[in-house]
Every structure is written in structure tokens, then in C-alpha cells.
Amino acid sequence: MSALRCRSFAKINLHLEVVGRRADGYHELRTLFQSVALHDVVEVESAADGCAVEVMEGEAPEDASNLAARAAALLLERFAPRRDGARIRLWKRIPLGAGLGGGSSNAATTLWALNRLFGGPATAAELSELAAELGADVPYFLSGGTAWGTGRGDRIEPLPDLEEQEIWLVTPPVEVSTAEVFARLGLPAGVLTPRDTPSSIVRLVEVGTEARADRLQAYNDLEAGVLGHYPEIREAREVLVDAGGASVRLSGSGATLYAFFHVPVDVGALRRRLPAGSRIVCSRTLSRPSYLASRIVDPSGGRSRDPVAGRRGKPLRVPPDAT
Ligand code: C5P
């Protein structure tokens, strides 16, 4: 096999608690990750010299700052030293700096796909360790679905999957720096203050009781700071709540907000009311079996199911000149 083409799915945080700032500067988290069908496409193949990234659609860096290139280099260095290099092609559909984990997902997908292409030199545990070196969110994307993240968000416990549901993702036209959002919390280093985790989340994590994503009592500790700092995100949240969105919440450090709708969605009206340049995607949550089964794009072009195929998965961009 000379190349492997994969779907690299986005995530949302259904719940995110900041427990405190650790002595190493990172923040200790308790977070509920959920995969969604929105995805980039990542193709890997072995190459004669070095690790290069080519962006075929959308925007992302093509140099060594791209996390997928770093993932390939790390895998080669540690587990495939006799390989000369890898070529990575990216089709980017997940917005950047959006709290949807696009870069982390691409890195995890690259690790997994290259390892498979090279005949599996690294075990699943070794891939997780490499993933954690690349970024706090990266290990989650090795398995996807509904999962509980602790530590920096890099210690992952897969949970029973929540029911798959339609979910709307709205990304206002601002790029948020995760590092700045955490820094603005201004927490003292080395002080951890466990919070009250909502009981529905505790039940899901400890007992595995089924719950629906739109019925979880949950919060995101980064949301108040982000809404206070970015008026466009605040405005978008008001529009979604006003349109009847349920569980409207920030994903990660933003800028993306997600919402469940139990009423018909008038996309035209949403588009007119959201900040100009906002991106609206109707997607759905993805269980772990769906995530794992649809990871490889079937080269025969047919039978493997594309979770975002069809009209509903298409991104709908608000024209920059909309009022
Ligand atoms: O791990 P990643 O590179 O995605 O994180 C980006 C930045 O966000 C980190 O450099 C750090 O400043 C902040 N962060 C944090 N605590 C976490 C995750 C991220 O402080 N658990």
C-alpha cells in the first residue's frame, strides 16, 4: 500500500472544567470530548526525503509548524528510523483556531495512518505517548467518540457513546489563541481547586448511565472569559439562543459555539443575524464505532459511508457583506 487517505474528524467539548493551574504552567482539566462528523481529509504516503505537508484545500501552514508534519517526523524518528520521510496532503474543512481540534486531529490521524502504512511499528500505548508530546488534545483523536479527559486533557477514558444527534456548529470570524484564553484566567500556579462536576456528567463517567448530549447539565469554564473578550462570539451566542438553540455552548477555547435545535432551523435568518463572515455547519455527533469505521476513505470510492456526505453536511458561509 503506497498511500492512505483518512477522515480527520473534529471534536467539541460538551463539558470543560478548569481545576486549576499546575506547577508546569498547564491547566488541569476535566472535560467531556465528543466527536462530530465534520472532518478534514489527511492523506499520507512514504517519501524519499523529510516530512512535507501540502495543503490541497483550505488554509493551514505548510512548513514544520504544521502539527501533522511534526507528528510524522516524531513517528519516523522514534519508530521508523529506516524510513526516509513522509508526504502529507491536507484538505482542510475544519476552521482553524476554532476549538474544534482540527490541528490536533490531523496530527493524531497522521500518527495512526503512517503507523499503519509502515506495518505498525508503534503499539497503541506508544502512539498515545507520542500524541501527548504533540499537544494536550491529540491523544483523544486516536480513539474519538464520547470520552472523558483529565490531566492536561491528554489522559483519555473512553465512555459509553452518547446517542448520535444533529448538532449545529457556528464559528464567528475571530481566531482565538488557546494559550491567551488560559492565561487570561489568571490562576495562581500550583493551586488546584476541584469543582462541583454536574451530577449528569458524574453519572455518565462513573456509572456509564446513558444520557443525551443535549440533556446534559454541563458548562465550560473558559466561556465567560471568551464571551467577555470577543463581542462577535457573544453576539453569535445571543442569536443561537434567541433562535431556539438548546445547550448553546463554547467548544474548548472557541471561537466555535455549538447548539442543538428541537425546532426547525431557518438557515437564511440565522445567516442574516450572525456576525458577518460566521461559518455555519450542520453536522452530527459521532459514536466511537462510527468514528473508527469511517476513518479510512475507501479507495474504491463507494461503500464506506461518508458521515458528512450530502447537503446537510456542507458548510454554509455567511457572506462577508451580509448585514
Ligand atoms: O497543548 P496545546 O498546544 O494544544 O495547548 C495550547 C496552549 O494552551 C498551551 O501552550 C497552554 O498555554 C494552554 N493550555 C493549558 N492547559 C491545557 C491545555 C492547553 O494551559 N490543559
Q: State residue 298's pLDDT score.
A: 76
Phi, psi of 221 (to 5 degrees): -65, -15
- Per-block average pLDDT, block size 10, for the chain (323 residues)? 91 98 96 98 94 95 95 96 93 95 98 96 98 98 98 97 96 95 96 90 88 93 98 98 97 98 95 97 97 88 46 45 29
* 78 CB-contact burial (10 Å; exposed 0-12 / middle 13-18 / buried 19+): middle
| The pLDDT of residue 170 | 98
Contacts of 96 (CB under 8 A, 6+ apart): 59, 60, 102, 103, 175
Cα 226 to middle of ligand 1, angstroms: 15
Lining residues, ligand 1, CB within 6 Å: 26-27, 29, 135-137, 152-153, 178-179, 182
| 139 alpha-carbon distance from chain centroid | 11
The C-alpha angle 140, 144, 146, rounded to 5 degrees, equals 100
Q: Locate 234 and state its grid cell.
A: 457573544
The pLDDT value given to residue 28: 97
Residue pair 21/27 in contact by the 8 Å Cβ criterion? yes
Whether the model pTM is above 0.85:
yes
Task: For a ligand 1 pocket test, name from 13, 27, 178 the mutation site with the most ligand atoms within 8 angstroms of its C-beta.
Answer: 178
